[in-house]
Every structure is written in structure tokens, then in C-alpha cells.
Structure 1
Amino acid sequence: MLTNITSLVKKAKKGNDRAFEQLIGSMREKLYRTAYAYVRNEQDALDIYQEAIYKAYTSIHKLRKPESFPSWITKILVFQAIDFIRKESKQFPTDDEKVFDGLITEESIKSITHSMDLTEAFKFLNPTYKTIILLRYYHELSIKEIAEMMNCPEGTVSSNLSRAKKQLRPILKEGYIYE
């Protein structure tokens, strides 16, 4: 599959729209679900997804390593989602932002039921933790790939992943996140 991605990226870089569509087609569902995990709204997720596809299409010529297309487009989508959230939160601050300020406290963990699903639990994670969890467990990227994507040391990614799992563990059903 890696050679197929490399071949399609090379064709897309030369202006082959069908090759670009095939690349997107193979990742469409994961990209949409990732956007949805950030905003929990179908229309906003579609807007983020479409904007990320457009940005990838207009900048594919900048992609240096064709084999890294999946992580490259995921990075575009994640940053698009984070930008969207920042813009929205500046316009309409929510009570969640005031109470939790992106972090979950011991008191709030105790008040949340243990049957909460991952989508609900994500409301309480800051964007960095959310991104690392999604990239690691949903997109199945390595710590090294995530570090490159987020422009930070691998140790920082590992620490943040550990903190995120620690925050999620008490509020999720058993069996969601294991290393």
C-alpha cells in the first residue's frame, strides 16, 4: 500500500486530480471522524474536513516525502480543527471552558459517571492531549511520527500521552486505552 500511496502522491503533485481523489478516498472516513472528535458537530466537522482537503490539494506540491501523505494530511486536518475551535471559543465561550479550562480536576473526575464514552470524555481534555490520543490510537501513528508532526520532542509526546491516559482512565469504561 505504501508504494501505491507514493505513486498516487507523485501523480497528484503533477496535477492528476484522480490520483488526489484516490488518496483522499482511502482516508475519508478517518479524517471526518477525527474532525468530528474535535467539534462534535456534523456540519462543523464537514467544514473542517473540506477545508483541510482544499489546503492539502493546493499545497500537495510542498509535500517532500510522498510516503508521509497520511500523517501530512492528518496534521493539516488537526490544525484546521484546532484553529476552528479557537475561533469559535473566542466568539462564544462555553461554561465548560470556564469550569475546566481544558484540564480535568480530581473533583470533576469523581462527579462523572464511569460509563461515559470516549467522545464525552474528550470534552475534558485539552487540545494537545486530544490530538495525541487521536493520532496514537485512531491514526495508529508512532510516538516518533507524532513528535515530528507536532514539532516537539518524543519525550514530550510520551509524557503528554501518559497524562492524557491518566486523565481518561477514571472516566472511561475499562478496556478503551491500553498500551
Structure 2
Amino acid sequence: MDIANLVTKAKKGNEEAFEQLISSVRHKLYRTAYSYVKNEQDALDIYQETIYKAFTTLNTLKKPEAFQGWITKILIYKAIDFIRKESKHFPTDKEELFSQLMTEENIDTITYSLDLTEAFNHLSPTYKAIILLRYYHDLSIKEIADIMNYPEGTVKSHLNRAKKELRPILKEGYIYE
């Protein structure tokens, strides 16, 4: 069954459909939360808060096919809120924020090949975030633009520049359109 049908059923109160939706993104949500907070218990708390928020606000989702991007955005905001509460010093500069979130340790939590991990060390934090959202979370350019608060054109140009930087480092076959 496709995501749009499950979202439609879940909006009508079908809890089993909502559970199926969550099970389709559970692993990626947890790993994303963990990459932000680097703590299993905190990541689980953020994950649970995200599920609750998604359940209570599912009726606000206008495009059912955008469920994964929508719930990922909720999770990212929950993670950022958690970090703000835990730390008095939270970066306001996007570059600084992404450099903290996309450290080598965080990237290693997502099982990439050694070649890709090494290649990631050469990318800027913003490029790393865009590559992760596009190819690990399978989000569209529009969804990434919404999450990162960038224009779509900026996301496209960052993605192209990141791929251009990765091409000489990686062997053929790693990055697909």
C-alpha cells in the first residue's frame, strides 16, 4: 500500500495505518535524531515526541505523498529544540549549526562505505546536510528547501556542487540522479 493511501486512512482515524506509516520511517527517524543528540535515550525521547506530534497534527498535512519529509521536518525541529534547551549556547549561524550536527562521528553513525565517509570529510557542513537529506532520507529538492529554509535553486546548486566535489573522490556508481 502506498504512503498517500495510508495517510488518508490515518487522517480518518485508522491507527493501524498510522502505525504502518511510522514503521516505514522508524529507522531513519531514530538515526537522524541520534545524529543530532549523540545519545540513545535523548534520541528515543525526540523520536517519541515526533511521533506524538505527527499523530496529533496529521490533519495539517496537505500533501499525503510528502509524509516522510513532513515528519522528518518535525523531528529536526524537535531535535533543535532539545539542543536549545540543553545548551545555553546554540549556534544561530547555519554553517556553524551544520558543522556541529554533521561531525565525522555523526556521519559514521550512518553506515556509509569507507570511501564515502572519507569523501564526506572534504565537503562543507551544508553540502553534507543536503547530501544526507537527498540520498539517505530520499527527500525531494522542495522538501530539503523547506527543511533548511533555502530557496529550491540554492538547494539544487549546493547539491550539484557537492556532487561535483565528490565525483573525483568516489568511484562510479555511488551517486545517482
TM-score range, shorter chain: 0.5 to 0.7
Query: CA RMSD for the aligned pairs?
Result: 3.4
- 2: CA distance between counterparts of 1:148 and 1:155? 12
Identity of aligned residues (%): 64
- Confirm or deny: 8 A CA contact 1:147 1:157 kept in the other structure: yes
Offset of residue 8 of structure 1: 1.2
> Larger C-alpha radius of gyration, 1 or 2?
1
For 1:97, the equivalent position in structure 2 comes to none
Q: Aligned pair in 2 of structure 1 residues 102, 163: CA closer, same or farther (>3 Å)?
A: farther
Structure 1 runs (4+) greater than 3 angstroms displaced: 100-104, 128-131, 148-151, 158-167
Q: Aligned pair in 2 of structure 1 residues 146, 24: CA closer, same or farther (>3 Å)?
A: same
- In the TM superposition, what are the counterparts of 1:92-107 in structure 2 within 5 Å? 101-102=96-97
- 2: CA distance between counterparts of 1:166 and 1:157? 14
Are residues 1:79 and 2:77 paired? yes
Q: Aligned pair in 2 of structure 1 residues 129, 52: CA closer, same or farther (>3 Å)?
A: farther
Cα shift readout 1:80-125 (whole Å, capped 9, x = no counterpart): 112212222217x8xxxxxx95476xxxxxxxxxx8x95xx79xx7
Segments of 5+ residues of structure 2 without an aligned counterpart are 100-113
For 2:20, the equivalent position in structure 1 comes to 22
Q: Match for 2:156 among 155, 158, 163?
A: 158
For 1:90, the equivalent position in structure 2 comes to 88
Q: Aligned pair in 2 of structure 1 residues 74, 166: CA closer, same or farther (>3 Å)?
A: same
Offset of residue 160 of structure 1: 4.6
User: Number of residues paired by the alignment?
Assistant: 153
